[in-house]
Amino acid sequence: MKVVIAGGTGSLGRALTSVLLARGHEVVVLTRTPRPGAVADGVRQVAWDARTGGPWESELEGEDVGLVNLAGRLVDARPTPATIADLTRSRVEATAALVAASQHLERPLRRWVQASTTAIWSDAGEARLDESSPIPVGLPQMTGVAERWEHALAGHRSDHTVVLRTGIVLEAHTPALDRLLLLARWGLGGPVGGGRQWVSWIHVDDWVRIVLCALGLDEPALPDGVVVASAPHPVRNAELMRTLRRHAGGIGRISPGRWIGLPTPAPVLRVGAVLLRTDPALGLTGRHATSTVLDEAGFRFDHPHLDGAVTALLGR
Protein backbone atom coordinates (compact mmCIF):
# COMPACT_ATOMS: atom_id res chain seq x y z
CA MET A 1 0.00 0.00 0.00
CA LYS A 2 0.97 3.61 -0.50
CA VAL A 3 0.39 5.34 2.85
CA VAL A 4 0.18 9.12 3.02
CA ILE A 5 0.73 10.50 6.53
CA ALA A 6 -0.39 14.08 7.13
CA GLY A 7 1.67 15.56 9.95
CA GLY A 8 4.02 12.58 9.92
CA THR A 9 7.17 14.27 11.26
CA GLY A 10 6.10 13.94 14.91
CA SER A 11 7.05 11.04 17.15
CA LEU A 12 3.97 8.95 16.30
CA GLY A 13 4.40 9.55 12.59
CA ARG A 14 8.04 8.48 12.75
CA ALA A 15 7.18 5.34 14.75
CA LEU A 16 4.51 4.37 12.21
CA THR A 17 6.76 5.19 9.25
CA SER A 18 9.57 2.90 10.42
CA VAL A 19 7.22 -0.09 10.62
CA LEU A 20 5.57 0.65 7.27
CA LEU A 21 8.97 0.90 5.56
CA ALA A 22 10.14 -2.33 7.17
CA ARG A 23 7.10 -4.07 5.69
CA GLY A 24 7.81 -2.75 2.21
CA HIS A 25 5.09 -0.11 1.91
CA GLU A 26 5.53 3.26 0.21
CA VAL A 27 5.31 6.20 2.65
CA VAL A 28 4.67 9.85 1.81
CA VAL A 29 4.68 12.48 4.56
CA LEU A 30 2.79 15.74 4.12
CA THR A 31 4.65 18.42 6.06
CA ARG A 32 4.70 22.19 6.22
CA THR A 33 8.51 22.21 6.15
CA PRO A 34 10.24 19.36 4.31
CA ARG A 35 13.80 19.02 5.59
CA PRO A 36 16.53 16.38 5.58
CA GLY A 37 16.48 14.09 8.60
CA ALA A 38 12.89 14.93 9.60
CA VAL A 39 11.78 11.40 8.68
CA ALA A 40 13.45 8.10 7.87
CA ASP A 41 15.39 7.51 4.67
CA GLY A 42 13.12 6.20 1.96
CA VAL A 43 10.20 8.47 2.88
CA ARG A 44 9.16 11.17 0.44
CA GLN A 45 8.33 14.51 2.05
CA VAL A 46 5.77 16.63 0.22
CA ALA A 47 5.04 20.23 1.16
CA TRP A 48 1.57 21.42 2.07
CA ASP A 49 0.25 24.30 4.17
CA ALA A 50 -2.33 22.12 5.98
CA ARG A 51 -5.08 24.52 4.90
CA THR A 52 -5.48 24.65 1.13
CA GLY A 53 -5.21 22.39 -1.88
CA GLY A 54 -2.18 22.15 -4.12
CA PRO A 55 0.16 19.74 -5.89
CA TRP A 56 0.18 17.51 -2.78
CA GLU A 57 -3.35 16.34 -3.64
CA SER A 58 -1.97 14.13 -6.44
CA GLU A 59 -0.39 11.92 -3.75
CA LEU A 60 -3.87 10.68 -2.86
CA GLU A 61 -4.55 9.39 -6.37
CA GLY A 62 -4.41 5.64 -7.00
CA GLU A 63 -6.16 2.35 -6.40
CA ASP A 64 -4.38 1.33 -3.21
CA VAL A 65 -3.81 4.47 -1.12
CA GLY A 66 -4.29 4.82 2.61
CA LEU A 67 -4.31 8.11 4.52
CA VAL A 68 -3.33 8.64 8.15
CA ASN A 69 -4.19 12.13 9.40
CA LEU A 70 -2.06 13.10 12.42
CA ALA A 71 -1.87 16.81 11.62
CA GLY A 72 -2.36 19.28 14.47
CA ARG A 73 -0.49 21.40 17.00
CA LEU A 74 0.64 19.69 20.22
CA VAL A 75 -1.73 20.27 23.15
CA ASP A 76 1.11 20.97 25.61
CA ALA A 77 0.47 24.74 25.74
CA ARG A 78 -1.13 27.40 27.93
CA PRO A 79 -4.95 27.29 27.59
CA THR A 80 -5.38 30.89 26.42
CA PRO A 81 -8.22 31.76 24.00
CA ALA A 82 -5.63 32.31 21.25
CA THR A 83 -3.98 28.93 21.91
CA ILE A 84 -7.29 27.07 21.98
CA ALA A 85 -8.26 28.70 18.69
CA ASP A 86 -4.91 27.68 17.17
CA LEU A 87 -5.21 24.11 18.49
CA THR A 88 -8.63 23.87 16.87
CA ARG A 89 -7.66 25.58 13.64
CA SER A 90 -4.56 23.42 13.10
CA ARG A 91 -6.69 20.27 13.28
CA VAL A 92 -9.88 21.40 11.59
CA GLU A 93 -8.24 23.18 8.66
CA ALA A 94 -5.87 20.29 7.92
CA THR A 95 -8.71 17.75 8.05
CA ALA A 96 -10.95 19.97 5.89
CA ALA A 97 -8.18 20.28 3.28
CA LEU A 98 -7.80 16.50 3.14
CA VAL A 99 -11.59 16.03 2.91
CA ALA A 100 -11.80 18.52 0.02
CA ALA A 101 -8.94 16.73 -1.77
CA SER A 102 -10.68 13.37 -1.36
CA GLN A 103 -13.81 14.74 -3.00
CA HIS A 104 -11.85 15.39 -6.21
CA LEU A 105 -10.37 11.90 -6.47
CA GLU A 106 -11.35 9.58 -9.31
CA ARG A 107 -11.95 6.86 -6.75
CA PRO A 108 -12.26 7.01 -2.94
CA LEU A 109 -9.25 6.39 -0.75
CA ARG A 110 -8.97 2.75 0.23
CA ARG A 111 -8.44 3.55 3.94
CA TRP A 112 -8.59 6.65 6.10
CA VAL A 113 -7.29 6.68 9.68
CA GLN A 114 -8.25 9.88 11.49
CA ALA A 115 -6.50 10.85 14.70
CA SER A 116 -8.56 12.01 17.68
CA THR A 117 -8.22 11.80 21.46
CA THR A 118 -9.86 10.28 24.51
CA ALA A 119 -9.81 13.84 25.88
CA ILE A 120 -12.98 14.34 23.85
CA TRP A 121 -14.72 13.03 27.01
CA SER A 122 -13.10 15.77 29.09
CA ASP A 123 -12.75 15.07 32.84
CA ALA A 124 -14.92 11.97 33.15
CA GLY A 125 -14.46 11.16 36.82
CA GLU A 126 -15.36 7.55 37.63
CA ALA A 127 -17.31 6.88 34.41
CA ARG A 128 -16.25 3.83 32.38
CA LEU A 129 -15.99 4.94 28.77
CA ASP A 130 -15.86 3.09 25.47
CA GLU A 131 -16.75 3.79 21.84
CA SER A 132 -20.47 4.02 22.66
CA SER A 133 -20.10 6.68 25.39
CA PRO A 134 -21.71 10.06 24.59
CA ILE A 135 -19.58 13.18 24.20
CA PRO A 136 -20.18 15.69 27.03
CA VAL A 137 -20.10 19.44 27.06
CA GLY A 138 -16.61 19.91 28.49
CA LEU A 139 -13.47 22.00 28.60
CA PRO A 140 -12.77 24.03 25.43
CA GLN A 141 -9.21 22.78 25.08
CA MET A 142 -10.29 19.18 25.39
CA THR A 143 -13.82 18.25 24.39
CA GLY A 144 -14.40 21.35 22.26
CA VAL A 145 -11.24 20.96 20.18
CA ALA A 146 -11.61 17.22 19.68
CA GLU A 147 -15.29 17.36 18.77
CA ARG A 148 -14.71 19.93 16.03
CA TRP A 149 -11.72 17.87 14.85
CA GLU A 150 -13.90 14.80 14.33
CA HIS A 151 -16.76 16.79 12.78
CA ALA A 152 -14.35 18.18 10.17
CA LEU A 153 -14.24 14.68 8.66
CA ALA A 154 -17.78 15.10 7.30
CA GLY A 155 -18.01 14.65 3.54
CA HIS A 156 -14.76 12.72 3.10
CA ARG A 157 -14.48 9.90 0.54
CA SER A 158 -12.99 6.64 1.71
CA ASP A 159 -13.92 2.97 1.43
CA HIS A 160 -13.13 2.43 5.11
CA THR A 161 -12.61 4.98 7.88
CA VAL A 162 -11.42 4.58 11.47
CA VAL A 163 -11.36 7.45 13.97
CA LEU A 164 -8.75 6.70 16.64
CA ARG A 165 -9.50 8.24 20.03
CA THR A 166 -6.04 7.78 21.51
CA GLY A 167 -5.04 7.89 25.16
CA ILE A 168 -1.64 9.08 26.41
CA VAL A 169 0.97 7.38 24.23
CA LEU A 170 3.97 6.12 26.19
CA GLU A 171 7.11 6.37 24.09
CA ALA A 172 10.75 6.59 25.11
CA HIS A 173 12.61 9.88 24.69
CA THR A 174 9.54 12.03 24.27
CA PRO A 175 9.15 15.29 26.21
CA ALA A 176 6.14 14.14 28.24
CA LEU A 177 7.69 10.92 29.54
CA ASP A 178 11.13 12.46 30.03
CA ARG A 179 9.62 15.26 32.12
CA LEU A 180 7.81 12.81 34.41
CA LEU A 181 10.90 10.62 34.80
CA LEU A 182 13.01 13.66 35.67
CA LEU A 183 10.59 14.58 38.46
CA ALA A 184 10.69 11.02 39.76
CA ARG A 185 14.50 10.92 39.75
CA TRP A 186 14.59 14.04 41.90
CA GLY A 187 12.06 12.72 44.38
CA LEU A 188 9.22 14.89 43.11
CA GLY A 189 7.25 12.18 41.34
CA GLY A 190 4.36 11.83 43.77
CA PRO A 191 0.66 11.96 42.94
CA VAL A 192 -0.59 15.02 41.08
CA GLY A 193 -3.56 16.80 42.58
CA GLY A 194 -5.61 14.19 44.40
CA GLY A 195 -3.91 11.36 42.49
CA ARG A 196 -7.21 9.59 41.84
CA GLN A 197 -7.78 10.86 38.31
CA TRP A 198 -7.74 8.07 35.73
CA VAL A 199 -4.98 7.88 33.12
CA SER A 200 -5.81 6.06 29.88
CA TRP A 201 -2.50 5.16 28.24
CA ILE A 202 -1.07 3.03 25.44
CA HIS A 203 2.41 1.78 24.53
CA VAL A 204 3.55 3.22 21.19
CA ASP A 205 4.05 -0.24 19.66
CA ASP A 206 0.42 -1.17 20.37
CA TRP A 207 -0.71 2.15 18.89
CA VAL A 208 1.22 1.40 15.69
CA ARG A 209 -0.33 -2.07 15.48
CA ILE A 210 -3.82 -0.60 15.83
CA VAL A 211 -3.11 1.81 12.97
CA LEU A 212 -1.85 -1.06 10.82
CA CYS A 213 -5.09 -2.96 11.53
CA ALA A 214 -7.12 0.14 10.66
CA LEU A 215 -5.22 0.38 7.36
CA GLY A 216 -6.00 -3.26 6.62
CA LEU A 217 -2.30 -4.19 6.78
CA ASP A 218 -2.49 -6.43 9.85
CA GLU A 219 -4.95 -8.64 11.72
CA PRO A 220 -7.52 -8.42 13.13
CA ALA A 221 -9.72 -6.43 10.78
CA LEU A 222 -11.32 -3.39 12.40
CA PRO A 223 -14.77 -2.07 11.53
CA ASP A 224 -15.53 1.45 10.33
CA GLY A 225 -16.11 4.04 13.01
CA VAL A 226 -14.62 5.15 16.32
CA VAL A 227 -11.95 3.02 18.00
CA VAL A 228 -10.49 3.81 21.42
CA ALA A 229 -6.71 3.36 21.16
CA SER A 230 -5.95 2.80 24.83
CA ALA A 231 -4.64 -0.13 26.86
CA PRO A 232 -7.22 -2.33 28.62
CA HIS A 233 -5.98 -1.40 32.11
CA PRO A 234 -6.06 2.35 32.81
CA VAL A 235 -4.43 3.43 36.06
CA ARG A 236 -4.97 6.24 38.50
CA ASN A 237 -2.47 9.08 38.47
CA ALA A 238 -0.98 7.92 41.79
CA GLU A 239 -0.23 4.48 40.33
CA LEU A 240 1.28 6.00 37.19
CA MET A 241 3.66 8.11 39.26
CA ARG A 242 4.45 5.20 41.60
CA THR A 243 5.35 3.01 38.61
CA LEU A 244 7.60 5.68 37.14
CA ARG A 245 9.34 6.13 40.51
CA ARG A 246 10.18 2.42 40.57
CA HIS A 247 11.88 2.70 37.19
CA ALA A 248 13.45 6.16 37.37
CA GLY A 249 16.28 5.67 39.88
CA GLY A 250 18.15 8.82 40.90
CA ILE A 251 17.93 10.45 44.31
CA GLY A 252 14.24 9.58 44.48
CA ARG A 253 15.25 6.02 45.35
CA ILE A 254 16.41 6.05 48.94
CA SER A 255 16.76 2.28 49.44
CA PRO A 256 15.71 -0.97 47.74
CA GLY A 257 11.94 -0.90 47.50
CA ARG A 258 11.62 2.67 48.83
CA TRP A 259 11.22 5.80 46.75
CA ILE A 260 10.61 9.42 47.67
CA GLY A 261 7.56 10.77 45.88
CA LEU A 262 6.59 14.23 47.05
CA PRO A 263 3.03 15.05 45.95
CA THR A 264 2.18 17.98 43.71
CA PRO A 265 -0.94 19.74 45.06
CA ALA A 266 -3.23 21.30 42.48
CA PRO A 267 -2.30 24.93 43.40
CA VAL A 268 1.41 24.12 43.00
CA LEU A 269 0.75 22.44 39.64
CA ARG A 270 -1.14 25.48 38.38
CA VAL A 271 1.78 27.76 39.27
CA GLY A 272 4.25 25.34 37.70
CA ALA A 273 2.12 25.14 34.55
CA VAL A 274 2.45 28.88 34.10
CA LEU A 275 6.25 28.63 34.34
CA LEU A 276 6.38 25.65 31.96
CA ARG A 277 3.81 27.23 29.60
CA THR A 278 1.56 24.19 29.70
CA ASP A 279 -2.03 23.38 30.68
CA PRO A 280 -2.60 22.19 34.28
CA ALA A 281 -5.73 20.36 33.12
CA LEU A 282 -3.47 17.81 31.41
CA GLY A 283 -2.41 16.59 34.87
CA LEU A 284 -5.51 17.34 36.94
CA THR A 285 -8.17 15.75 34.75
CA GLY A 286 -8.56 12.19 33.53
CA ARG A 287 -10.78 9.51 32.14
CA HIS A 288 -11.12 5.70 32.19
CA ALA A 289 -11.41 4.80 28.49
CA THR A 290 -11.03 1.31 27.02
CA SER A 291 -12.06 -0.28 23.74
CA THR A 292 -14.97 -2.63 23.27
CA VAL A 293 -14.34 -2.62 19.51
CA LEU A 294 -10.76 -3.90 19.77
CA ASP A 295 -11.77 -6.57 22.25
CA GLU A 296 -14.62 -7.83 20.07
CA ALA A 297 -12.37 -7.80 16.99
CA GLY A 298 -9.85 -10.01 18.78
CA PHE A 299 -7.01 -7.48 19.10
CA ARG A 300 -4.52 -8.46 21.79
CA PHE A 301 -2.20 -5.89 23.33
CA ASP A 302 1.49 -6.65 23.59
CA HIS A 303 1.64 -4.28 26.58
CA PRO A 304 -1.68 -4.44 28.46
CA HIS A 305 -0.26 -3.47 31.87
CA LEU A 306 1.57 -0.27 32.76
CA ASP A 307 4.54 -1.81 34.57
CA GLY A 308 5.36 -4.07 31.64
CA ALA A 309 4.98 -1.20 29.18
CA VAL A 310 7.35 1.07 31.12
CA THR A 311 9.84 -1.80 31.53
CA ALA A 312 9.82 -2.38 27.77
CA LEU A 313 10.30 1.32 27.02
CA LEU A 314 13.11 2.03 29.46
CA GLY A 315 14.88 -1.23 28.66
CA ARG A 316 15.43 -0.22 25.03
CATH code of the domain in which 207 resides: 3.40.50.720
C-alpha angle 247-233-71 in degrees, rounded to nearest 5: 85
Q: Check residue 303 and give its pLDDT.
A: 98
Find, among 215, 237, 126, 205, the residue nearest to 164 by Cα. Answer: 215
Has residue 313 been placed in a domain? Answer: no
Counting residues of the chain whose pLDDT is more than 90, the rounded percentage is 64
Range 112-135 average pLDDT: 95
Using the predicted structure, report yes or no on whether residue 170 has a pLDDT greater than 80: yes
User: Residue 263: its pLDDT value, please?
Assistant: 75
Number of structural domains, the chain? Answer: 1
The dihedral of CA 37, 43, 48, 54: what is its sign? positive
The listed range with the strongest mean pLDDT (33-37, 98-102, 120-124) is 98-102
Give domain status of residue 100, yes or no: yes
Average pLDDT of the residues in 155-180:
92
Q: Which residue has the higher pLDDT, 83 or 236?
A: 236
Q: How far is CA 7 from CA 10, 47, 64, 108, 189, in A?
A: 7, 11, 20, 21, 32
Averaged pLDDT, 249-253? 65
Ramachandran assignment for 99, one of left (phi > 0), alpha (psi -120 to 50 degrees), beta (any other)? alpha
Q: Is 106 part of a structural domain of the chain? A: yes
pLDDT for residue 146 is more than 80: yes
Taking the whole predicted model, whether its pTM rises above 0.85 is answered as yes
304 located within any domain: no
Q: Tens digits of per-residue pLDDT, 105-114?
A: 999 999 999 9
Domain-located, residue 269: no
Q: Does residue 252 or residue 221 have the better pLDDT?
A: 221
Evaluated on CA atoms 132, 135, 141, 147, the torsion sign reads positive
Report yes or no on 140 lying in a domain: yes
- Mean pLDDT for 210-214 is 98
Q: What is the pLDDT of residue 22?
A: 96
Which residues, 6 or more positions from 45, have their beta carbon under 8 angstroms from its beta carbon? Answer: 9, 28, 29, 31, 34, 35, 38, 39
> Which segment of 60-74, 192-206, 270-284, 297-311 scores lowest on mean pLDDT?
270-284
Q: Which domain holds residue 51?
A: 2-171+201-231
Assess whether pLDDT exceeds 70 at residue 254. no
Residues 206/301, Cβ–Cβ less than 8 Å:
yes
The alpha carbon of 275 is separated from its chain's Cα centroid by a whole number of angstroms, namely 25
Whole-number average pLDDT of the chain: 89
Residue 101 domain-assigned? yes
The mean pLDDT of 254-276, rounded to a whole number, is 66
How many whole angstroms separate alpha carbon 219 and alpha carbon 88?
Answer: 33
Q: Is residue 157 part of a domain?
A: yes
- Looking at 39-43, 99-103, 162-166, which range is the least confident one? 39-43
> For the CA atoms of the chain, what is the radius of gyration?
20
Question: Average pLDDT, stretch 300-311?
Answer: 97
